[in-house]
Structure 1
């Protein structure tokens, strides 16, 4: 029936992106005889329930005309507009003496307009709707900006939802639409980069970052936001450390313990990191779990990546995240386990305790996480939890010193290693039964011997052995204690026994990538370089964002295998080289005949270790075949290092 309007679904659909389109319910275009008739319909269709006053319409479309003439022109245009509508929908226009309304319930938005321009169409709204009058054209410009902002907001939400669910192809399409609407959108650029990285196209993601950086410089004379550059740096690191193909998830449940968030304001960051490390260690002792090492988790401390993206990059399913707040009296830990493949929180817990009970919390967390993953009725590895709960409340300050020392030792530079030792000694003074403090002290003394720093190597070796044996005696089931004892045997030149100790550490904790990587040193010294490389490669898989010293070992092993270019490539990737790694790089470059690079490497060695001498660099190397040490010494002397 003419004039009847269905209330069940829209009778007319508007397409607002690009040039505005008006179609009926069947998709048939509605063509208006004049530009103003089309503009008037679009304006009224967007005006809502209130519609528009005739006086307002007359002033917008016919400014400067006498009132009578403007109202007469409005009536004519309204007639043209209504005549263009099919008879079945003519009733959607309602008129009174003073106002005109198009029923909002009768108007729908054409599919695709939520994101503005679909596909490769124009990235704008209401293109060409202007009629040349100041009032309407100003409204048109404001409406275009509103629609563009709303479309950007919707697109960003859709993009983030796609990324969080791992729908990277869809996320990229939407991110490209964000950039079509706003070519200088930081969120759009990061969305494209994340989507590309999520499908393994990391090189392309980095090229998009470079192009975006250039566009910002040219258009706005500025640089990308810190978050955009941090994302690029993460992707660059991932491109260097991760294989081109996605890492395959292990058969057993796999988990990464993310860096815990410090909600206290930074004063307790070392305590927060220590708690995450303790949780990670407890989980790693369960052979049924594949636990990613701490260095890989650290790479995601300030990342914008979602759970699905992190899980995809690391080849794991679960992510454990925590937030810790500490005050003088109490501490509260909120912890959450996420299934990265489904972006679903599968378990969460809160621990609100007196500060004196701080160290007992990690044991409960470990027990509950393992129970959740393995389904053992909420009670898994009770013995592990009981052992951990045996720590005393006095360990709080000892724990502080332990964590600070662990941060310092990672540089492998003499000054920092000795500062770390001071922290470990204070930790041990406060907690004399701490196997961990003894173990880390053993390692600091080991490096005095191994890197030739000690004035009295025999004393340093004795201290290494004393602290390592104390660690094993205090906690025979602590993998790290056996790892430290292996270092003592390595420093003493007993390579087979050192390897046995590292193997014992791995038997206790198969996810200890550091012990796995350390096996390379006794293997290299015994001439088993192929096995050394295999161990290092396995360690790097377990810990894709591994510390620099894995590259140190790999460079040494490749040098011993005669692969000088591979040796230089590995050693050159170290962000924090040390005396010995630089010595092997110098020797490899010398054998390749790259004279200029040799000179640069020698200069770098002297900056790291002023007064470095060949005898100090090669004496600690425990090669069974002494000729290897002599050949290295000859190459260093030939490169200009003082004998």
Structure 2
């Protein structure tokens, strides 16, 4: 020890200097000296745990760190300087580890203010810590300060670029994207939990890889749909669940953002012969698992496993709330290989359809046609096929609109005939009536779909169109707002409907705000945005959006935009056309 601090000095002088230094240490540390310094006849040591305690401020709280170990102390001896640097790094790493652990515990328990304090300590010790930055972002978002979370991310990104010439990790980027989307979609106040049992079915983890991802997603979607048909449950839509696929948020955070109590999570391993599904139901606010199960079955029984999972979850939830216990679980028979292949085509088609692009929609139709070739009496396949033809009519892709309309109705009616209790079938039939201009019949079909599945947020949002066309704009807004509560991370087309409704109410600034938030506008939504901007006197912005409309749909004409709108009161279409002409839209 003496050689470390006083190299080259005689041993007697070095020992005398060491004794003097120990005396000064004990005087400075007072009562803490005996906890830190350990001394015997021929040995001197220190207690690392006591040093760490003092380094944390004595109470174990990583937020009270006094600074870097012996910072600024210069002895001028190589041995000491090396030892000091190593100890400084070791203690700093240990402090960061304790702060990260505390941060993660606080985040998991939903104690976001405490988590923010721990994250700030991590960043103070290591300003380039991705874990600390993500923790601070999650904590700020958890307490509703999403704009501050995004500012923290921007500052961290700038620091990384300046100091290291690097970009944030992919996980940090994904978290920023999620918070940005939440800031756009979620209200500034926390969503309140419904009185009934509320849950979100999270995307199932695919432990198989390869080309089975669509089947894993399809299993989660089918479980979600089946649960949503129970009127005693509040089930968040799949769009919102998918936003949490890779955000790294914990159960308490997700439950808080979506305003639900339960999260259903699953892990799937699927090969050519067998299916293994591990599933658990977590109580987000209470941080507990209320039910879990493992299913190991032949692959051909995949659909019956889904029915079994649904039955057990419903029984668990409803029993937990003390309502009605389900007396027995109705299990489907093991499906044949043809039924399983039909299911495969349905899942692939549904994934393609959700892109709402012409070529993808037609590729989806091919899958639905193949599903029907295998299982001609598949009600879901007929329903999805009807939707692909609906978009040919409504988005103007069809070479023969009359034929596309006839195929929409034909397949939708067949779907209803095959399964009158399938909410989706009635929703598809409503689309056929909507495309044909029969608003009352479309609304009746959408309402029937909601009777069968009150959690079908898309059917609820679709009601806005026939309601608006019939002049029942207040009801349209009400249904859209309810749909947005069921599906907080709703797709863009909900904003399309809300913007149209606000325009019809004469609330033009609100219409501009809703339509301007659309990431993927279409020519009809853009036309309403242009008209709304013109109505509030934003002539320059209206002209900019006219140019955007021309880029979106080159050669778009006012008459073509207004014609598909089935308003009972034709004065609405005339007034909209006048506003578009005045704003500079051609034709």
Instruction: For residue 451 of structure 1, report the CA deviation from its aligned partner.
Output: 2.5
Instruction: For residue 79 of structure 1, report the CA deviation from its aligned partner.
Output: 7.1
Residue 351 of structure 2 corresponds to residue 407 of structure 1 = yes
Question: Residue 380 of structure 1 aligns with which residue?
Answer: 326
What SS is found at the alignment partner of 1:125? coil
Instruction: For residue 106 of structure 1, report the CA deviation from its aligned partner.
Output: 9.2
Residue 85 of structure 2 corresponds to residue 141 of structure 1 = yes
Instruction: For residue 638 of structure 1, report the CA deviation from its aligned partner.
Output: 4.7
Residue 466 of structure 2 corresponds to residue 522 of structure 1 = yes
Among 37, 40, 51, the residue aligned to 1:95: 40
What CA deviation, in whole Å up to 9, does each residue of 1:483-506 have, x standing for no partner? Answer: 111111112222112111111111
TM-align CA RMSD = 2.9
What SS is found at the alignment partner of 2:191? coil
Alpha-carbon distance change, 489 to 530 in structure 1, aligned in 2, over 3 angstroms: same
Alpha-carbon distance change, 109 to 568 in structure 1, aligned in 2, over 3 angstroms: closer
Rounded to whole Å, the distance in 2 between the matches of 1:120 and 1:354 is 56
Paired residues of 1:117 and 1:177 also in contact (CA < 8 A): no
What SS is found at the alignment partner of 2:441? helix
What CA deviation, in whole Å up to 9, does each residue of 1:113-133 have, x standing for no partner? Answer: 589886576432334565443
What SS is found at the alignment partner of 2:355? coil
Question: Residue 507 of structure 1 aligns with which residue?
Answer: 451
Rounded to whole Å, the distance in 2 between the matches of 1:397 and 1:91 is 70
What CA deviation, in whole Å up to 9, does each residue of 1:274-325 have, x standing for no partner? Answer: 1110000011111111100001101101012111000000000111111111
Residue 174 of structure 2 corresponds to residue 233 of structure 1 = no
Rounded to whole Å, the distance in 2 between the matches of 1:413 and 1:506 is 27
Among 200, 214, 232, the residue aligned to 1:270: 214
What SS is found at the alignment partner of 2:367? helix
Moved more, 489-498 or 60-69: 60-69
Paired residues of 1:115 and 1:177 also in contact (CA < 8 A): no
Instruction: For residue 395 of structure 1, report the CA deviation from its aligned partner.
Output: 2.4
Alpha-carbon distance change, 381 to 271 in structure 1, aligned in 2, over 3 angstroms: farther
Structure 2 unaligned runs (5+)? none
Q: TM-score, normalised by structure 1?
A: 0.84
Question: Residue 345 of structure 1 aligns with which residue?
Answer: 289
Rounded to whole Å, the distance in 1 between the matches of 2:148 and 2:6 is 53
Instruction: For residue 166 of structure 1, report the CA deviation from its aligned partner.
Output: 0.5
Rounded to whole Å, the distance in 2 between the matches of 1:529 and 1:189 is 45
Residue 364 of structure 2 corresponds to residue 425 of structure 1 = no
Among 272, 277, 292, the residue aligned to 1:333: 277
Aligned length: 584
What CA deviation, in whole Å up to 9, does each residue of 1:233-254 have, x standing for no partner? Answer: 2112111111111111111111
Instruction: For residue 412 of structure 1, report the CA deviation from its aligned partner.
Output: 2.9
Instruction: For residue 540 of structure 1, report the CA deviation from its aligned partner.
Output: 0.6
Moved more, 408-417 or 457-466: 408-417
Alpha-carbon distance change, 450 to 398 in structure 1, aligned in 2, over 3 angstroms: same
Instruction: For residue 631 of structure 1, report the CA deviation from its aligned partner.
Output: 3.0
Question: Residue 633 of structure 1 aligns with which residue?
Answer: 577
Paired residues of 2:502 and 2:508 also in contact (CA < 8 A): yes
Alpha-carbon distance change, 293 to 76 in structure 1, aligned in 2, over 3 angstroms: closer
Pairwise mapping of residues 586-605 of structure 1 onto structure 2 (< 5 A)?
586-605=530-549
Rounded to whole Å, the distance in 2 between the matches of 1:197 and 1:430 is 48
Alpha-carbon distance change, 375 to 82 in structure 1, aligned in 2, over 3 angstroms: closer
Larger gyration radius, structure 1 or structure 2: 1
Alpha-carbon distance change, 404 to 641 in structure 1, aligned in 2, over 3 angstroms: farther
Question: Residue 205 of structure 2 aligns with which residue?
Answer: 261
Instruction: For residue 273 of structure 1, report the CA deviation from its aligned partner.
Output: 0.9
Rounded to whole Å, the distance in 2 between the matches of 1:613 and 1:462 is 26
Paired residues of 2:35 and 2:50 also in contact (CA < 8 A): no
Alpha-carbon distance change, 624 to 108 in structure 1, aligned in 2, over 3 angstroms: closer
What CA deviation, in whole Å up to 9, does each residue of 1:333-372 have, x standing for no partner? Answer: 1111111012112211111122222222111111111111
Alpha-carbon distance change, 262 to 114 in structure 1, aligned in 2, over 3 angstroms: farther
Among 374, 380, 383, the residue aligned to 1:439: 383
Moved more, 535-544 or 593-602: 593-602
What SS is found at the alignment partner of 2:285? coil
Pairwise mapping of residues 348-359 of structure 1 onto structure 2 (< 5 A)?
348-359=292-303
Alpha-carbon distance change, 107 to 115 in structure 1, aligned in 2, over 3 angstroms: closer
Paired residues of 1:125 and 1:144 also in contact (CA < 8 A): yes
What SS is found at the alignment partner of 1:375? helix
Residue 206 of structure 2 corresponds to residue 246 of structure 1 = no
Instruction: For residue 470 of structure 1, report the CA deviation from its aligned partner.
Output: 0.9
Question: Residue 151 of structure 2 aligns with which residue?
Answer: 207
Alpha-carbon distance change, 83 to 486 in structure 1, aligned in 2, over 3 angstroms: closer
Residue 132 of structure 2 corresponds to residue 188 of structure 1 = yes
What CA deviation, in whole Å up to 9, does each residue of 1:500-535 have, x standing for no partner? Answer: 111111111111101110110110010111111111
Residue 569 of structure 2 corresponds to residue 569 of structure 1 = no
Moved more, 229-238 or 294-303: 229-238
Among 403, 416, 425, the residue aligned to 1:481: 425
Paired residues of 1:442 and 1:468 also in contact (CA < 8 A): yes
Rounded to whole Å, the distance in 1 between the matches of 2:49 and 2:421 is 72
Paired residues of 1:451 and 1:620 also in contact (CA < 8 A): no
Paired residues of 2:236 and 2:487 also in contact (CA < 8 A): yes
Rounded to whole Å, the distance in 1 between the matches of 2:203 and 2:390 is 29
What CA deviation, in whole Å up to 9, does each residue of 1:529-561 have, x standing for no partner? Answer: 111111111111111000111111111112222
Alpha-carbon distance change, 283 to 73 in structure 1, aligned in 2, over 3 angstroms: same
Structure 1 unaligned runs (5+)? 1-56
Question: Residue 15 of structure 1 aligns with which residue?
Answer: none
Paired residues of 1:580 and 1:617 also in contact (CA < 8 A): yes
What SS is found at the alignment partner of 2:386? helix
Rounded to whole Å, the distance in 2 between the matches of 1:398 and 1:602 is 45
Rounded to whole Å, the distance in 1 between the matches of 2:210 and 2:575 is 49
Moved more, 514-523 or 434-443: 434-443
What CA deviation, in whole Å up to 9, does each residue of 1:410-464 have, x standing for no partner? Answer: 3333333222222222222222121111111111212222223323222222111
